[in-house]
Amino acid sequence: MRRALATLLAVLLTASAAFAQVYRWVDEDGVTHLSSEKPPPGVKAERIEIPASSKRPATQSTTSSAGKSGSAAPPVSPAQLAEREDLLGRLRTRECVIALEALERKTSGTEASSATEIKRLKQTADINCSQDPGRRRQQEEMAAKLRVANSPSCVEARNKLADMVAPGSKASRERVQAQQAFVDEHCTSPVR
């Protein structure tokens, strides 16, 4: 009975450690994956851990390998599980939005691309974008904002603002504030 209880406890501790981290990797086709499960053996992945004492995730590179053993991690609290799910959702949204924005650029003819690149972007979007219609609409709206933020007019607006605040510039405070307000409203990326 004690042996079974000890085995069960070890399994639970190991399983709870997996819930405290997120893995991010790019497969051989260039498709970005995010998961709380380890990537396939031999795949180099970025491991994002959710520490108990901090809101900021720690990241490190890791190479998955079968049969790798480690010490048992402390149990993960429900708050940590919720934080992990939130982080995983935000990372998936980020990958989704970036893929949708790039897909729009590459399929609209404004940027050269290949069929392989289009396929990779579609797969990344399919894996990471939400299946919920309301959430998917939000992600598409974020991708549209990202397109605007990356547009030549926003690059020009940010460069103009930088020139206005450079030492020796004679721009009035009101002009600088107006330019900053424009950049903040129209040219700020919705994902980081």
Give per-residue pLDDT as tens, 165-188. Answer: 999 999 999 999 999 999 998 888
Q: How far apart are CA 115 and CA 162, in angstroms?
A: 38
Copy the structure tokens of residue 166.
């450079």
What phi and psi values does residue 121 have, to the nearest 5 degrees?
A: -65, -40
Query: Chain-wide mean pLDDT for the chain?
Result: 78
Copy the structure tokens of residue 42.
């031999």
- Give the predicted TM-score (pTM) of the model: 0.60
Confidence (pLDDT) at 72: 58
Confidence (pLDDT) at 136: 94
Q: Residue 104 corresponds to which amino acid?
A: E
- 3-state SS of 7-52 is HHHHHHHHHHHHHCEEEEEECCCCCEEEECCCCCCCCEEEEEECCC
Q: How far apart are CA 17 and CA 22, in angstroms?
A: 10
Q: Which residues of the chain have pLDDT under 50?
A: 1-19, 52-59, 61, 64-70
Q: Are the CB atoms for 57 and 48 separated by under 8 Å?
A: yes
Q: Of the candidates 145, 152, 156, which has an alpha carbon nearest to the alpha carbon of residue 191?
A: 145
